[in-house]
Structure 1
């Protein structure tokens, strides 16, 4: 890595094949260019991976040895021009691995230009965030400071927030991230007006983490040089399980959007990346489709996003609409992947390179506590709950209601009830934040074997497209010909579990049972 002493921006030196005039890229692009990846592959319509794929399990990084690429015995690896770059050398199974340190940091941390730049600043995290952990070990607050340049894409994306919370709250992970700047300060060298530094850092423990990599494998000598990390699974997080992000840039009217950003892909095809230009702070962010790293936490944290004063606000920001996704550049197709500045001239292209595979649906069941309590009461009426499932509302381009205002996924929850030898599905959707509550839907199951999941997944898609409105009676009759009923419930559903809400809960249950009995006695013509 190198930077001009008159400029704070770092660059990475790269070699391209075939050779190109440009031999260095901004450090902001580190997350986009893993080793040996074929960029802009014309046949596949995107980038292509290279090398042999292999799975391995890491017991701990505590036994790893730092070394140089020059220490790797694979002949053609030693003939390359980056022999002084730092690696980790370790054994997994019978194979000796050589993992470039910058590649591990890319997969763990460098998911945006913002984090890459922040890693080079010794006090970067403290200058951007105020972390508060109180007496409750299961809860924490992260206050995004008003001066923070955290991209809107990250603020509104639950996967990105989860990673950021892991970095900020897990002491060993935070120390690992901060070691990047510490090594940069102590090991960089100044030559001819430039500062040079072979990237180095201390890895977090990564105990019992499963990793999928690609690289060069020499089977005869059981040697493996890693080009690219594709997945890190079973990540442990020693952090509170409920984390609130307080954001001065968040208002209710940004509901369902990744901040002030355009959805991946946009309306006019993928943009052209022009990193000779700086991005501006005055245009919306364009979410770029980039190669993703699969990440999976063994115990994922639940994050939410709130206004910095803790209260919801009213009044939409001029020019931002909740539904739909407009081209932020008004026809401009050039974007820059660097960090936005007031001197910039093109929109910012922000990478969303995380594919979060964590099993986290259980973190959202609290949204349906009142619904579950109400349907449990139906047992006294002779109903038996035989199945239940949560379905995330699907992503539909041009629409936003598949997400909650804080960016978390919106779920549909259903329970299958058995009443007098007949099955029914009772369906609820999370619309707590909405002034107009969506009614509970009761659906009668037709004769024979029946799979509710695909049917209700299709129903979820229509909900998103209709901005959280159930289909018309005509459409419901077509899709659920055995019969259906819409059932209203009280406005303040979240209070139903309190002692004063018991009456409301019983009334809701009564309305459901009356509809169930009526539907049971209805015969199709």
Structure 2
């Protein structure tokens, strides 16, 4: 389940100002990484497994409202933009930092990217690798191992059918619950199956193996890797700029568009993937009890993780990840089993301390890992049949009411906590289609939830927007709240974020057939008319 998270070792509202070398004591399996904070902390390092949360300028353990004053920008990568390896000391924008930070940061490897407008971007190599590959503690550990990923996954590719199957071995330490998240499945599939991604991911362990330095009882490594070919990709970033030299030091990559080389679909198999059906026992209580998880968790990166229970899934990166050429991933479940989903009785609340270390027998704290990035891939072409009536209505809206459909984007609704509302009754992902419409010089978002499994249909929701970036910032949370509100629109949230007069619902046609997710063709004109009234 996705839950709020803090790091026990650090104070509240601390900002990351430097990320440095990896290091460990000889004979210790756990790698650490130098991390400096403002205000200064007594501990100036963290476990490398914490890297999904670590980005320059990011505030950890946030309590107070933080206004991010960093410069933001977008990079569209062409074949005329080579990634040139340099040290961060070459970045003029770094020279405004205090001397201690400037010297420490200057040692780090980076990529210099010259833009057509004359500005140079300096991207720390670890930050690029973090958003590409290191979205979970598991992947952080696997990246510096030469064998872990290959040992945990067995790949079968059917070129004729343009699909692949990834079998997860029974002995894996990868958290099985994480496969409930589309973003996790997509990332694992991409790293394993895309040759471009695989080469880049593998280069991390190759550099690691050959570049470790030893000094007395310590081993250190300055992170370095070979980037994938990124022509056609886009990234959005925040950072520090120096206008005189036209240079930007990228602190954090906040959005990433990847052009993958992937099969049409990828299925994941594991013995623990099961789908249950209800019977008389499913409404009963199982013998025994379980400890209810708290609303918030603290990561203690100095304790070991226990393997005696499934890992807890924590809220991960805020990065928005989009595969420009999307592909479908799914879990292949066993046949339905009766009665096994009965609920145990909840006992007292469990301790909030968790560990992101590799699980082991007799560990100190419950194991945990991160839920990965926010998957923003557009899946419209894979689920057009689910929205056929809705798309027909949009055609009518354009033809009859002088509206312009600017774009259509379809996402899978996110998994949250223990809710299963993000899934259809068939087990597939439930989608939401977001359509940008222009009418009378105003812009609107028209939202339609996938009810193709026959559940009660939500009203079509219309939101007037005045700032596209503001919408993008809040759309992810809106989708999450649709699920936490038991598949209904979070009206109070919409009121607070956009204003009561800036959103409205339009009921679907009241026909029996509509209850199965289908809209009769004769009901489409009336539906379009009611939508047009809200766009006036």
Instruction: Say yes or no: TM over 0.5.
Output: yes
The alpha-carbon deviation at position 348 of structure 1 amounts to 2.9
| Shift in CA distance, 80/167, structure 1 to aligned 2, threshold 3 Å | same
1:283 is aligned to 2:302: no
> Once the 2 structures are TM-superposed, how far is the Cα of residue 193 of structure 1 from its aligned partner?
2.4
* 2:197 partner SS: helix
Distance 1:254 1:218 in 2: 61
Q: Does 1:56 align with 2:78?
A: no
Match of 1:364 among 380, 383, 397: 383
Q: Report the equivalent of 1:40.
A: 61
Deviations 1:10-59 (Å, cap 9, x if unpaired)? 11112222222222211110110111322223322xx7756322222222
Alignment correspondent of 1:83: 106
- Where does residue 248 of structure 1 map in the other structure? 271
How far off its partner does 1:430 sit? 3.4
- 1:121 paired residue number: 145
Equivalent residues in 2 for 1:371-386 (5 A)? none
For 1:227-376, what aligned pairs fall within 5 Å after superposition?
Answer: 227-233=251-257, 235-253=258-276, 268-307=294-333, 311-315=334-338, 317=340, 330-365=349-384
Is 2:305–2:354's contact at 8 Å kept on the other side of the alignment?
yes
With the length of structure 2 as denominator, give the TM-score of the two structures.
Answer: 0.68
User: Where does residue 118 of structure 2 map in the other structure?
Assistant: 94
C-alpha distance after superposition, 1:266-318 (max 9, x if no partner): 974322222222232233443333441111111111011114xxx42414557
Could you state the TM-score of these two structures normalised by the residue count of structure 1? Answer: 0.69
2:174 corresponds in structure 1 to 150
Does structure 1 retain, via aligned residues, the 8 Å contact 2:81–2:113?
no
- Contact 2:83–2:111 (CA under 8 A) maintained in structure 1: yes
The residue correspondences of 1:455-470 to structure 2 (distance < 5 A) are: none
How far 1:337 sits from its partner (Å)? 2.8
Q: Per-residue CA shift, 1:49-89, capped at 9, x if unaligned?
A: 56322222222497221111223334245733243221111
Query: In 1, are the aligned partners of 2:276 and 2:341 still within 8 Å (CA)?
Result: no
Checking the alignment, whether the CA contact within 8 Å between 1:285 and 1:328 is kept in structure 2 is no
**Residues 1:430 and 2:452 are matched in the alignment:** yes
Using the TM superposition, give the Cα deviation of residue 6 of structure 1 relative to its aligned residue in structure 2, in angstroms.
1.0
Q: How does 1:380-419 map to 2 (within 5 A)?
A: 399-404=419-424, 408-409=429-430
Contact 1:112 1:351 in 2 (8 A): yes
Q: 1:35 to 1:464 in 2, by over 3 A?
A: closer
1:206 to 211, 230, 233: 230
Cα 1:427/1:134, change in 2 over 3 Å: closer
CA contact (8 A) 2:74 2:234 kept: yes
Give the structure with the larger strand fraction.
2
My pick for the range that moved more, 238-247 or 267-276, is 267-276
Judge conservation of contact 2:304–2:358 (CA < 8 Å) in 1.
Answer: yes
Query: Any idea what the Cα deviations from partners look like across 1:124-183, whole Å, max 9, x if unmatched?
Result: 221111111123262111111111222234311112211211111110111100100000
Instruction: Give the length in aligned residue pairs.
Output: 428
Q: Secondary structure in 1 aligned to 2:254? A: strand
SS in 2 for 1:41: coil
Q: CA deviation at 1:248?
A: 2.1
Distance 1:463 1:318 in 2: 21
- SS of residue in 2 equivalent to 1:429: coil
Tell me which of 23, 32, 38 is aligned to 1:2. Answer: 23
Say if 1:487 and 1:515, in contact at 8 Å, map to a contact too. Answer: no
Structure 1 segments unaligned to the other structure (5+ residues)? 256-265, 376-384, 414-425, 432-436, 444-450, 469-478, 494-507, 517-525
Is the 2:416–2:483 Cα contact (8 Å) retained in structure 1?
A: no
C-alpha separation in 2, matches of 1:99 and 1:463? 36
| CA distance in structure 1 between the partners assigned to 2:144 and 2:385 by the alignment | 39
Q: Which residue of 1 aligns with 2:502?
A: none
Computing the radius of gyration from Cα coordinates, the structure with the larger value is 1
Contact 2:180/2:415 (<8 A) preserved: no
Deviates more, 1:385-394 or 1:329-338: 385-394
Aligned partner of 1:12 in structure 2 is: 33
Partners of 2:373 and 2:386 lie apart in 1 by: 25
Preserved contact between residue 509 and residue 523 of structure 2 (Cα < 8 Å)? no
Name the CA distance, whole Å, in 2 between partners of 1:332 and 1:142.
35
* Alignment-derived partner of residue 71 in structure 1: 90
Contact kept in structure 2, 1:284 and 1:329, CA below 8 Å:
no
